[in-house]
């Protein structure tokens, strides 16, 4: 699948808020757009949304997005994939494109991400693109406590 890269628009962010994952992945479902605005999600903030990239297919359907946040000593990487396209290798393609962007925009800065330890599908995707587990941490999130791997890619 050929992906077109662009800036994530408000319209696309609203689409993301409507994505519905099933089974154990329901934990990634977002609240409705109005709630997200009230709770000040980055996706709803025009300035913060500048750090988000969209990935659309030939039909202009939103397939996924990434968020690259320069934290000084490293780049924090976030990703979302349209549930229709999960477990089809699209996450690998999007992650590779995001890492390519990091290499050009932030050369030699390590890229860090956090992923729930039970999400083996995502962990394997990230490992396939050069990420390694560097830490296990427990943290409180907006949906409760969770155990996460911190994964790092050296970005060289």
What residue ranges define each of the domains in the chain, with the CATH number in brackets? 4-153 (3.40.630.30)
Overall average pLDDT of the 115-120 stretch: 95
d(CA 12, CA 26): 20
d(CA 8, CA 11): 8
d(CA 40, CA 86): 27
Q: Strand pairing partners for 80?
A: 65
d(CA 59, CA 31): 27
d(CA 125, CA 17): 23
* 48-98 confidence digits (pLDDT tens): 999 999 999 999 999 999 999 999 999 999 999 999 999 999 999 999 999
Residue 139 class from Cβ within 10 Å (0-12 exposed, 13-18 middle, 19+ buried)? exposed
pLDDT at 156: 67
């Amino acid at each position: 699948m050929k992906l077109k890269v662009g800036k994530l628009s408000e319209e696309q962010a609203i689409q993301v808020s409507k994505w519905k994952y099933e089974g154990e992945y329901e934990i990634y479902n977002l609240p409705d757009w109005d709630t997200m605005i009230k709770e000040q999600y980055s996706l709803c903030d025009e300035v913060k949304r500048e750090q988000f990239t969209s990935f659309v297919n030939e039909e202009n359907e939103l397939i996924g997005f990434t968020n690259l946040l320069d934290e000084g000593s490293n780049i924090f990487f976030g990703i979302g994939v349209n549930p229709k396209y999960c477990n089809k290798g699209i996450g690998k393609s999007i992650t590779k494109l995001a890492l390519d962007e990091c290499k050009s925009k932030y050369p030699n800065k390590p890229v860090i991400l956090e992923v729930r330890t039970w999400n083996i599908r995502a962990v394997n995707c990230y490992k396939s693109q050069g990420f390694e587990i560097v830490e296990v941490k427990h943290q409180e999130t907006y949906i409760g406590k969770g155990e996460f791997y911190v994964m790092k890619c050296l970005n060289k």
